[in-house]
Structure 1
Amino acid sequence: MATEKRTWFITGCSSGFGEQLVRQLRALGDNVVATGRNADSKLAHLKDTGATILNLDVTAPQAELDATFQQAIDIYGGVDVLVNNAGYIQCGAIEELTQDDMQRSLNTNFHGPINLTRSALSHFRSKGETGGGLIIYMSSQSGFIGEPAGAGYCASKFALEGAVESLAKELGWLAPGIKLLLLEPGIFSTEVMKNINHIPNRVEFWKPLNEACRVRGAGNYGKEPGNAVDLVSKVIQIAKGTGVAEGKELPLRIPFGSDCVKAFREKLQGFMKIVDDWDEVARSTDFPDQKGPMPDLPDK
């Protein structure tokens, strides 16, 4: 059954998931605004798809992001789906990472998506009484599980997941027609393993760890267990409510890849063991006359 034609605004389209989204969506006939830094050169290979190509650095000031998103609205008369895909990975032991190093990760992986969300929300809120639209965030297995030498990346993804979960509850109260989706892939067949930014060795003690991470990244490139083309195909189905998503309610988070599912299960099982083992101690810190948590927000 044919689905309604939609307009997508996608960041980070030079390669990987972003490029695949552009190509598959255009093949389906949807409108696509493909964005990226230095778009004239880095997105030139997408011109034959018929996508609209706009230059955009997600770390730009809010006003610049607002203007670019408005440009997409003006071109197509509206935007239906925002995909926050642009990302930056920096690898290094936390003792060696400077605040500036951490800030670069946060600027791209956290502030960029949240700022673009602000650009989109007023437009999505204008669509009917409950609003309308979908915002997709390319998070990661690393948004739930910390990794050695991955503090910058993991911190930015953990922050993104917390902010998006909070926003989902805000929207659920006042604008339930606007949906959010966090994608949490493991290791997939993209260029990401080749594009890791390794900081120089600054503390001799951590040199073995940094070298091991370089070997790991290089070893994973070209041998990734996850199929990026298939993931993108399924994400499109999920966004449209077809195929693998037919008849299913859209969740806030979806993990992808057997490696991710295995890691998530192990962490969740370990966390539940802690909760069970320390339940009595945790409850013992309540006031004797404690009446329970504050109630949820009332109906609007």
Structure 2
Amino acid sequence: MPSQKKQVWFITGCSSGFGEQFVRQLRAQGDEVVATGRNAETRLAHLKETGATILDLDVTAPQAELDAKFQQAIDIHGTVDVLVNNAGYIQCGAVEELTQEDMQRSLDTNFHGPINLTRAALPHFRSKGENGQGAGLIIYMGSQSGFWGEPAGAAYCASKFALEGAVESLSKELGFLAPGIKPLIIEAGMFTTEVMVKLNHVPHRVEFWRPLNEACRVRGAGNYRNEPGNAVELVSKVIQIAKGVGVAEGKKEIPLRIPFGSDCVGFLKQKIAQMQGVLDEWEDVARSTDFEGHKGPMPELPPQT
């Protein structure tokens, strides 16, 4: 059923881009918003006039700090209905040049941050709803990089691939015991945000990869202000989906993943075609490794009693 009631949203990474758009559009519709970000006093000062609650939050903080910050939002507004995991950054560099520390920083922000905030939110969401089924929506601002690897994008893609796997598992856990809580991954292509001028490039550490790194710098600069996707439109449609109105009107259920942007759709179709091609050619080899006479796939979890 469409949700016309006003909601309370907790949003990370609100200094610019999608996060800022969520704050502005939701406040214009009358929803309550908890806008968070690092160094919020200065970096989120431009959002104070919206009337949003501004909280300082680093998504890489320890779990206890994230729990306390989410509880602070509940104390202020009485509840939280929607969590938007938006904070993130892109680390560029060839695998051989990326250090473990580079990879870890990307994972800490883009993977552990959203998952830790999910842990902070789940007890509250589980306490809501009817018949013990919970209630709440957890939105993950993912990327086409969650299913499509890019040269010099290993750190970012690894974090987004990991997030997709964890959230897919989460969705099945929730479906088993708390079906009123819905996770949603937004797989976005390139949209009109500031991300392309905030790319983090590793120093030239291995001379062999210099041409690739230089090409990636040129590509990033060329993509800025030339993105096919309109961030205002994406956020507007995600809000409609969250409320069950507009583009979501008449849809039976929110899927786990929704792609946004023609570039993302194109890459997704390529990925599907590639995997189908592999399956067509190699399925007989794959099946040949089973024990003869095995009765089929492992059983699903037993139904809840």
For normalisation by structure 1, the TM-score amounts to 0.99
Partner SS for 2:294 = coil
Task: Count residues in correspondence.
Answer: 300
Selected match of 2:273 from 237, 254, 269: 269
Partner SS for 2:59 = coil
Q: Equivalent pairs: percent with the same residue?
A: 77
1:176-215 mapped onto 2 (5 Å cutoff):
176-215=179-218
Distance 2:237 2:3 in 1: 16
Aligned residue in 2 for 1:291: 295
RMSD over aligned CA atoms reads: 0.8
Aligned-residue offset at 1:189: 0.2
Amino acid at match of 1:144: F
Amino acid at match of 2:254: L
Q: Deviations over 1:35-87 (max 9, x none)?
A: 00000000000000000000000000000000000000000100000000000
Partner SS for 1:65 = helix
Aligned residue in 2 for 1:124: 125
Q: Deviations over 1:243-294 (max 9, x none)?
A: 0001111000000000110011011101101001111111111101211111
Aligned residue in 2 for 1:253: 257
Aligned-residue offset at 1:2: 8.1
Structure 2: any 5+ residue segments left out of the alignment? none
Q: Deviations over 1:193-219 (max 9, x none)?
A: 010000110000000000000000001
Q: Deviations over 1:124-183 (max 9, x none)?
A: 000131000000001100000000000000000000000000000000000000000000
Aligned residue in 2 for 1:164: 167
Aligned residue in 1 for 2:23: 22
Q: Which runs of 4+ in 1 moved over 3 A?
A: none
Distance 1:8 1:78 in 2: 9
Distance 1:163 1:39 in 2: 29
Structure 1: any 5+ residue segments left out of the alignment? none
Distance 2:266 2:212 in 1: 24
Selected match of 1:147 from 141, 150, 165: 150
The question of 1:136 aligning with 2:139 is answered yes
The question of 1:43 aligning with 2:47 is answered no
Aligned-residue offset at 1:227: 0.3
Selected match of 1:229 from 203, 227, 232: 232
Partner SS for 2:289 = coil
Distance 1:234 1:167 in 2: 24
Distance 2:188 2:127 in 1: 32
Aligned residue in 1 for 2:7: 6
Amino acid at match of 2:141: M
Q: Deviations over 1:93-139 (max 9, x none)?
A: 00000000000000000000000000000000001310000000011
Partner SS for 2:14 = coil
The question of 1:83 aligning with 2:94 is answered no
Q: Aligned in 2, Cα 1:275/1:67: closer, same or farther, shift over 3 Å?
A: same
Distance 2:284 2:206 in 1: 42
Partner SS for 2:284 = helix
